[in-house]
């Protein structure tokens, strides 16, 4: 993945730079007019289909020439070779010297992927089979808590990649709960302050609650501090050695029946007290934010059942094959990645908004925030040089219809240019049984799509999106010319969702290849963890304040004052009671 000289010094980049100077003042409206005048339809020119998805890139601010030059850039940056290296399991994660093989997690059982002398597929499917055995037991009501009652609530304790993927997918596929099984309610607690967990602990029954500790490293303090609180809660409520009781419940029984661990570190899981039979392992060569496809996906499988989980993998695999086999000019992840490169590096558009028009995709933007910004928020190349060009844009999002009432004002009339991704399913509510309700819900879906299509059109055309009704005052004007992509899913199913996620994973890889950065490490989060640890020691010991800057000193002293005040109040109130 390395370039002979920086990519921005290469001919294809330089040619794009020159071309961008001509394109910068061209409005999207003109691009559409020009295409029509030449007898073309931009939608036909710039839309592609794969794996149940349609990607429309016609509202990007590009022309045929741009497109051709971007494809040349992809070739010059070695994108086709990089795709082959990624999928073959070469050590593309250079700073950590290992492959990035999330695609291996979704290979079918009869595939063969030999990496450094070992076929990885059997181990992947062995884990899936172990997951399946566990899931079947839960869904049959056979996984029982220490008092013999069937587990009905599972709380996933994890953060980042050990939370966001399963959280996003369980919401997206809530319609796919299997019928006729013992229902498992899946919950997620990630925040280190314990607020989500505290809420569950007041509502859930310890006898029927199980915790999944999800952590690739099994060292993440956020997850471990929630896990400690959960363990104390369960042990405090369930363990008793009362000889009057017919069955004494001991700690080992609680640990065995109420905790599952998912990690790449079996030693640390065992040390923490996860029973060997309840440990699900994955591999160092799966990045945290790319890990929902294996054991980290257990909460997904618990909710939708293993056949649907396997369908999710099938959709992602279909996108992997498309990524591997389709020519660059028809390759969805390549084209989506190039659109982003064009906006960031040549049109100076450094903000990107993700706007799903389907309530089930509520967490999709949060998921992509980690996938894109933790992967490509880098400024050092694979050769250790500072990049002289921009990399990942600031990316954020929200359900489109709700965002219309929140930040679309800025998209339409603010001073920032923003690239937008609109995402929506074409068909919805086919399976609603009641005719009336189905008709109403289908009408709501049509209304939602009308808004989705209207917004991308308005962002593109500005004032020209409506018939001219005379001059408008400037505060009512819309400039348009905001580029967007639209991804349409035939339906939102496990298969198309798998394909959609893989589309973005590969888009990130294409961009990283062109920017010559490593999308699979995250050194930028390490120092913060170290400094937080040191700060916590100072807060607890009240020693070492002098090593701090004066702003941090002020904040720490404010906390100590508050703690002292709380102790005084507690002392006064207990003196009053005695």
* Of 159 and 184, CB closest to ligand F6P: 159
SS3 readout for 351-403 = EEEEEECCHHHCCHHHHHHHHHHHHHCCCECCCCCECCCCCCCEEEECCHHHH
Contact window for ligand F6P (CB under 6 A) among 36-44, 72-80, 213-221, 231-239 = 213-221
Q: Which residues contact 458 (CB under 8 A, 6 or more apart)?
A: 412, 465, 478, 480
Contact window for ligand F6P (CB under 6 A) among 77-85, 87-95, 154-162, 240-248 = 154-162
| 522 in contact with ligand F6P (CB under 6 A) | yes
Give the residue among 163, 149, 260 at the shortest CA–CA distance from 212.
260
Residue 405 annotated among the catalytic residues of the structure: yes
In angstroms, give the least distance from the CB of 299 to ligand F6P: 14
| 279 in contact with ligand F6P (CB under 6 A) | no
* Of 221 and 466, CB closest to ligand F6P: 221
* Of 273 and 377, CB closest to ligand F6P: 377
Residues 152, 162, 345, 486: which binds ligand F6P (CB under 6 A)?
Answer: 162
| 483 in contact with ligand F6P (CB under 6 A) | no
**DSSP 8-state secondary structure symbol assigned to residue 246:** S
Contact window for ligand F6P (CB under 6 A) among 9-17, 141-149, 212-220, 270-278 = 212-220
Q: Annotate 129-166 with b (16+ C-beta within 10 A) or e (fewer).
A: eebbebbeebbeeebebbeeebbbbbbbbbbbbbbbbb
| 231 in contact with ligand F6P (CB under 6 A) | no
* Of 353 and 375, CB closest to ligand F6P: 375
| 161 in contact with ligand F6P (CB under 6 A) | yes
Give the span between the Cα atoms of 466 and 19, in whole angstroms. Answer: 31
Q: Of the residues 529, 536, 557, 568, which is catalytic?
A: 529
| 572 in contact with ligand F6P (CB under 6 A) | no
Contact 83/322 with Cβ under 8 angstroms? Answer: no
Q: Which residues contact 90 (CB under 8 A, 6 or more apart)?
A: 99
Give the span between the Cα atoms of 560 and 571, in whole angstroms. Answer: 16
Contact window for ligand F6P (CB under 6 A) among 16-24, 62-70, 215-223, 424-432 = 215-223
In angstroms, give the least distance from the CB of 156 to ligand F6P: 11
* Of 161 and 400, CB closest to ligand F6P: 161
Contact window for ligand F6P (CB under 6 A) among 214-222, 416-424, 435-443, 481-489 = 214-222
Residues 9, 217, 565, 567: which binds ligand F6P (CB under 6 A)?
Answer: 217
Residues 52, 261, 288, 299: which binds ligand F6P (CB under 6 A)?
Answer: 288
Residues in the chain: 578
| 159 in contact with ligand F6P (CB under 6 A) | yes
Contact 458/422 with Cβ under 8 angstroms? Answer: no
Q: Of the residues 112, 243, 405, 476, which is catalytic?
A: 405
- Say how many residues touch ligand F6P, by CB under 6 A: 14
* Of 139 and 502, CB closest to ligand F6P: 502
Instruction: Name residue 419's beta-bridge partners.
Output: 352
Residues 48, 187, 216, 350: which binds ligand F6P (CB under 6 A)?
Answer: 216
Give the span between the Cα atoms of 393 and 397, in whole angstroms. Answer: 13
Contact window for ligand F6P (CB under 6 A) among 84-92, 153-161, 253-261, 401-409 = 153-161
β-strand 53-56 against 47-50: which pairing, if any?
A: antiparallel
The contacts found for 262-265 with CB under 8 angstroms, 24 or more apart, are 262/158, 262/162, 262/212, 262/213, 262/214, 262/215, 262/295, 262/296, 262/298, 263/213, 263/214, 263/215, 263/216, 263/217, 263/218, 264/216, 264/217, 264/218, 265/216, 265/217, 265/218, 265/219
In angstroms, give the least distance from the CB of 355 to ligand F6P: 24
* Of 103 and 223, CB closest to ligand F6P: 223
Residue 258 annotated among the catalytic residues of the structure: no
* Of 35 and 274, CB closest to ligand F6P: 274
Give the span between the Cα atoms of 358 and 521, in whole angstroms. Answer: 31
Contact window for ligand F6P (CB under 6 A) among 89-97, 120-128, 216-224, 481-489 = 216-224
| 78 in contact with ligand F6P (CB under 6 A) | no
Contact 58/31 with Cβ under 8 angstroms? Answer: no
In angstroms, give the least distance from the CB of 201 to ligand F6P: 21
Residues 190, 209, 223, 518: which binds ligand F6P (CB under 6 A)?
Answer: 223
β-strand 185-189 against 153-157: which pairing, if any?
A: parallel
* Of 247 and 529, CB closest to ligand F6P: 529
Distances (CA, A) of 562 to 398, 512, 566, 568, 569: 36, 46, 6, 10, 11
* Of 216 and 231, CB closest to ligand F6P: 216
| 331 in contact with ligand F6P (CB under 6 A) | no
Give the residue among 527, 548, 522 at the shortest CA–CA distance from 537.
548
* Of 3 and 216, CB closest to ligand F6P: 216
Q: Of the residues 207, 372, 374, 419, which is catalytic?
A: 374
| 525 in contact with ligand F6P (CB under 6 A) | yes
In angstroms, give the least distance from the CB of 56 to ligand F6P: 31
Give the span between the Cα atoms of 342 and 17, in whole angstroms. Answer: 10
Kindly identify the residues of this chain, within the stretch 362-421, that bind ligand F6P according to CB under 6 A: 374
In angstroms, give the least distance from the CB of 537 to ligand F6P: 20
Grouping H, G, I as helix, E, B as strand and the rest as coil, residue 468 is coil
Give the span between the Cα atoms of 210 and 48, in whole angstroms. Answer: 44
For the purposes of burial, counting CB atoms within 10 Å of the CB of 194, is it exposed (0-12), middle (13-18) or buried (19 or more)? middle
Run of H or E residues at 262: strand 259-263
Phi and psi (nearest 5°) for 546? -65, -15
| 215 in contact with ligand F6P (CB under 6 A) | yes
In angstroms, give the least distance from the CB of 358 to ligand F6P: 25
Contact 319/499 with Cβ under 8 angstroms? Answer: yes
| 220 in contact with ligand F6P (CB under 6 A) | yes
Per-residue tokens: 534: 């040191």
Binding site for ligand F6P (CB under 6 A): 159-162, 215-217, 220, 223, 288-289, 374, 522, 525
Task: Show which residues are catalytic.
Answer: 374, 405, 529
């Amino acid at each position: 993945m390395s370039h002979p000289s920086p990519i921005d010094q290469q001919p294809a980049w330089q040619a794009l730079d020159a071309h961008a100077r001509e394109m910068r003042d061209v409005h999207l409206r003109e691009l559409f007019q020009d295409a029509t005048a030449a007898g073309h339809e931009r939608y036909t020119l710039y839309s592609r289909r794969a794996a149940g998805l349609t990607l429309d890139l016609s509202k990007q601010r590009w022309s045929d020439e741009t497109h051709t030059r971007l494809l040349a850039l992809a070739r010059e940056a070695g994108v086709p070779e990089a795709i082959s290296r990624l999928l073959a399991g070469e050590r593309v994660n250079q700073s950590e010297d290992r492959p990035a093989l999330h695609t291996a997690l979704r290979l079918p059982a009869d595939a063969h992927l030999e990496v450094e002398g070992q076929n990885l597929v059997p181990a992947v499917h062995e884990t899936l089979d172990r997951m399946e055995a566990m899931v079947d037991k839960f869904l049959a009501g056979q996984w029982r808590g220490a008092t013999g009652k069937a587990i009905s609530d599972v709380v996933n304790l994890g953060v980042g990649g050990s939370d966001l993927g399963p959280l996003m997918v369980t919401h997206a596929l809530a319609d796919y709960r299997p019928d006729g099984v013992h229902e498992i309610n899946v919950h997620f607690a990630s925040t280190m302050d314990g607020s989500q967990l505290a809420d569950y602990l007041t509502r859930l029954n310890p006898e029927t609650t199980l915790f999944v500790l999800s952590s690739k490293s099994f060292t993440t303090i956020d997850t471990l501090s929630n896990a400690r609180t959960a363990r104390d809660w369960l042990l405090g409520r369930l363990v008793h050695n009362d000889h009057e009781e017919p069955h004494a419940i001991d700690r080992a029984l609680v640990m065995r029946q109420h905790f599952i661990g998912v990690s790449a570190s079996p030693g640390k899981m065992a040390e923490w007290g996860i029973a060997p039979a309840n440990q699900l392992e994955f591999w160092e060569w799966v990045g945290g934010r790319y890990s929902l496809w294996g054991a980290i996906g257990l909460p997904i499988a618990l909710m939708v059942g293993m056949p649907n989980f396997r369908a999710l993998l099938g959709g992602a695999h279909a996108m992997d094959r498309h990524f591997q086999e389709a020519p660059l000019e028809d390759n969805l992840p390549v084209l989506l990645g190039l659109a982003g490169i064009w906006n960031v590096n040549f049109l100076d558009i450094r903000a990107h908004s993700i706007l799903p028009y389907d309530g089930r995709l509520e967490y999709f933007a949060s998921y992509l925030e980690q996938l894109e910004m933790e992967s490509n928020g880098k400024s050092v190349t694979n050769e250790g040089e500072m990049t002289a060009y921009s990399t990942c844009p600031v990316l954020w999002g929200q359900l489109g219809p709700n965002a219309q009432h929140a930040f679309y004002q800025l998209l339409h009339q603010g001073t920032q240019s923003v690239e937008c991704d609109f995402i929506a399913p074409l068909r919805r509510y086919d399976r609603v049984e009641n005719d009336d309700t189905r008709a109403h819900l289908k009408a709501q879906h049509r209304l939602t799509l009308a808004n989705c299509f209207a917004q991308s059109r308005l962002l593109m055309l500005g004032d020209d999106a409506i018939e001219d009704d005379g001059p408008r005052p400037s505060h009512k004007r819309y400039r348009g010319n905001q580029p967007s992509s639209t991804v349409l899913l035939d339906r939102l199913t496990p298969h198309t969702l798998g394909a959609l996620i893989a589309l973005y994973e590969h888009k990130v890889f294409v961009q990283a290849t062109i920017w010559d950065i490593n999308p699979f490490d995250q050194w930028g989060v390490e120092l913060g963890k170290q400094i937080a640890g040191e700060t916590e020691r100072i807060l607890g010991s009240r020693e070492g304040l002098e090593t701090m800057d004066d702003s941090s000193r002020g904040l720490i002293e404010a906390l100590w004052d508050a703690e002292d005040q709380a102790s005084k109040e507690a002392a006064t109130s207990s003196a009053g009671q005695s």
